[in-house]
Amino acid sequence: MKKILLTLIFVLGTFSFAQYNKGNTVLVWTKLKYKQSLQGIEGVSPKDWAESFGEVYSKRNKINKYLKSSLFLSHYWTGASWEYHEVKEYASMADADKEQQESGAMNRKIWPDEDERRKVWEAVNKYRELGYHGDSHVWENHVRYHKKRKKSNVPDRTVTTVVTQYWKPLGTVEDGSTEERQKMMDKYHRQVTMKNDKVLSQRMVTHYWSGEMTKGEWPVTFITEFASMADADDTETESKLFQKAFNEKDAQKYGKYWFGKHEDIGVFYNDVSFNK
């Protein structure tokens, strides 16, 4: 009995800290809050906010060996004006845990002088609601379909949309297979997403610890970054690229794996200077 129990613990532990697909990463989305009122707080201003947060995020991002990439999202159309979100990519949940465990040591290395370190965090914390931490999502990030942002000609603040679509259960797709679905996804990524100059960056994530699966529907969430809301609203460019890349037969192959529905999760600003 003891042997069976130990085996079960090992299996569960292995499942919890491994991605479903080799080479993929983990995306952790955390919701945080600003103070709802800054009235009576000395020294607050948009310039001071940018400088204070920039000091922390730029230096910690640079030294953080566990963080692969990140976004810093805030209110555009979604949520409350005092909410902001950190979206962080790690090689594994183990690396995400190590970042938390070594956070204090990281701060001491960046700001070895205790008084300087205290002032740096006081400057940031005067804007933040301390003690609040909302774990919103933990996703499997499909590196194969990650379009990375180019460093040139990017505005300081971009617009990021989060949209969930749904794969059909493979068993219900006529002549469907994982190989064909991946082939069609690869083609769409190479010939549509990568060639769409309106899309600055895109991440495709699926269920890891977050979300729910109903009737075999598999949620696929796209986190897409644009230079402006006008670019986000532009569906014509994507449509033209799709029509050019997919003949009628391939369009049917691609479309048969999807339910014809989507869920708009949110529209956010992204402060590029706080990203890694």
- CATH of residue 252's domain is 3.30.70.100
Tell whether 149 and 209 lie within a shared domain: yes
For the entire predicted model, the pTM comes to 0.89
The first and second tokens of residue 98, run together, are 């190590």
Tell whether 76 and 185 lie within a shared domain: no
Listed residues 136, 159, 183: the one ending a domain:
136
| pLDDT score recorded for residue 93 | 93
| pLDDT score recorded for residue 269 | 97
191 belongs to a structural domain: yes
- Could you tell me if 71 and 201 are in contact, meaning their C-beta atoms sit under 8 angstroms apart? no
166 belongs to a structural domain: yes
Q: Which amino acid is at 267?
A: V
Predicted confidence (pLDDT) per residue in 45-68, tens digit:
999 999 999 999 999 999 999 999
Listed residues 90, 105, 136: the one ending a domain:
136
| pLDDT score recorded for residue 20 | 61
- Could you tell me if 145 and 202 are in contact, meaning their C-beta atoms sit under 8 angstroms apart? yes
Predicted confidence (pLDDT) per residue in 165-180, tens digit:
999 999 999 999 999 9
**In angstroms, what is the C-alpha Rg of the chain?**
21
Count the domains in the chain: 2
77 belongs to a structural domain: yes
Listed residues 103, 136, 169: the one ending a domain:
136
The list of the chain residues with pLDDT below 50 reads 1-18
CA dist 138 and 27 (Å) reads 6
118 belongs to a structural domain: yes
Maximum distance among all Cα pairs of the chain, rounded to whole angstroms: 66
Tell whether 121 and 150 lie within a shared domain: no
Residue ranges making up the domain that contains 241 = 141-274
